């Protein structure tokens, strides 16, 4: 599955420099597909701190795609799952303007279009074309064949090398992983202070982490053989391929 679970604070728009919008200021539109079509294309524009939500209903196991073509390098979209105002499965400002993923729940998904805060302050305007598609219906077999550790939501648990402060020697942190198949899933690490850090993988590559208003930091990931070295600010995690692939 190509979903990415990225936690955002209620003031989601502060994420990665996005505009400080208020949820009640968000304009909302419902996406409907023409008869026989599995996608819809919307042309629009956005100015300053304006935020626009596009809503579409889908079922668990279906594949959702979204892409944004825009004349502004500060124009992005996020994808929020049903019932969420502050948690996204995809954040464009860190991952680009194209996404596809296998959906985990029935309900109404939100594609949230916005300008980054620096552009919003200057009251810049962006014109865009948003394409959203829903296809398929069967959940991935790999979800049901990968057994979970009894009493946990994880498919595997263990420890990985970690360091959570600059100059700190590498130690060991407990982890749990939820695998979605094809090297995609979430590795949740428990730090020495008891807080957790979730790191998101897409097709074997570390692509993001659980960001919030008060916890934003530079993210980078590199490969050293079969080891994924993930840096989040002053934190460092070494995650073997086998953790996310199940090998």
162 and 63 belong to one structural domain? no
Residue 88's pLDDT is what? 87
State which residues of the chain have pLDDT below 50: 1-24, 138-145, 213
Calpha distance 137→110 (Å, rounded): 19
Of the candidates 59, 69, 125, the one whose C-alpha atom is nearest the C-alpha of residue 92 is 69
Residue after which a domain boundary falls, among 110, 137, 164: 137
71 and 190 belong to one structural domain? no
> 162: domain range?
142-245
175 and 91 belong to one structural domain? no
Residue 23's pLDDT is what? 39
> β-strands 63-70, 125-135: how paired?
antiparallel
**Average predicted confidence (pLDDT) for the chain:** 82
Residue 145's pLDDT is what? 46
| Tokens at 145, concatenated | 């064949």
106 and 186 belong to one structural domain? no
12 and 122 belong to one structural domain? yes
Residue after which a domain boundary falls, among 137, 155, 170: 137
80 and 125 belong to one structural domain? yes
14 and 132 belong to one structural domain? yes
126 and 154 belong to one structural domain? no
Residue 202 lies in a domain: yes
34 and 113 belong to one structural domain? yes
160 and 227 belong to one structural domain? yes
Contact 6/208 with Cβ under 8 angstroms? yes
23 and 123 belong to one structural domain? yes
Residue 68 lies in a domain: yes
Residue 162 lies in a domain: yes
Residue 20 lies in a domain: yes
Tally of structural domains, the chain: 2
Residue after which a domain boundary falls, among 137, 152, 167: 137
Calpha distance 116→97 (Å, rounded): 13
Residue 187 lies in a domain: yes
> β-strands 227-232, 219-224: how paired?
antiparallel
207 and 179 belong to one structural domain? yes
Residue 193 lies in a domain: yes
Residue 15's pLDDT is what? 40
């Amino acid at each position: 599955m190509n979903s990415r679970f990225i936690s955002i604070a209620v003031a989601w728009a502060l994420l990665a420099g996005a505009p400080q919008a208020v949820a009640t200021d968000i304009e909302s539109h419902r996406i409907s597909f023409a008869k026989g079509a599995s996608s819809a294309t919307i042309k629009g524009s956005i100015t300053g701190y304006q935020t626009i939500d596009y809503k579409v209903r889908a079922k668990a196991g279906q594949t959702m795609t979204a892409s944004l073509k825009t004349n502004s390098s500060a124009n992005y979209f996020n994808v929020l799952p049903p019932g969420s105002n502050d948690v996204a499965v995809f954040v464009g400002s860190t991952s680009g303007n194209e996404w596809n993923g296998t959906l985990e729940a029935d309900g109404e998904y939100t594609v949230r279009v916005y300008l980054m805060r620096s552009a919003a302050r200057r009251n810049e305007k962006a014109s865009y074309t948003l394409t959203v598609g829903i296809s398929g219906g069967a959940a991935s077999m790999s979800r049901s064949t990968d057994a979970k550790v009894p009493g946990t939501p994880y498919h595997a648990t263990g420890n990985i090398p970690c360091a959570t402060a600059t100059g700190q020697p590498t130690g060991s942190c407990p982890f749990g992983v939820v695998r979605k198949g094809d090297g995609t899933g979430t590795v949740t690490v428990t730090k020495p202070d008891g807080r957790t850090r979730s790191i998101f993988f897409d097709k074997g590559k570390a692509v993001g982490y659980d960001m919030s208003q008060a916890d934003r930091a530079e993210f980078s990931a590199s490969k050293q053989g079969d080891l994924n070295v993930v840096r989040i600010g002053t934190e460092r995690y070494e995650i073997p391929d086998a953790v996310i692939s199940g090998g």
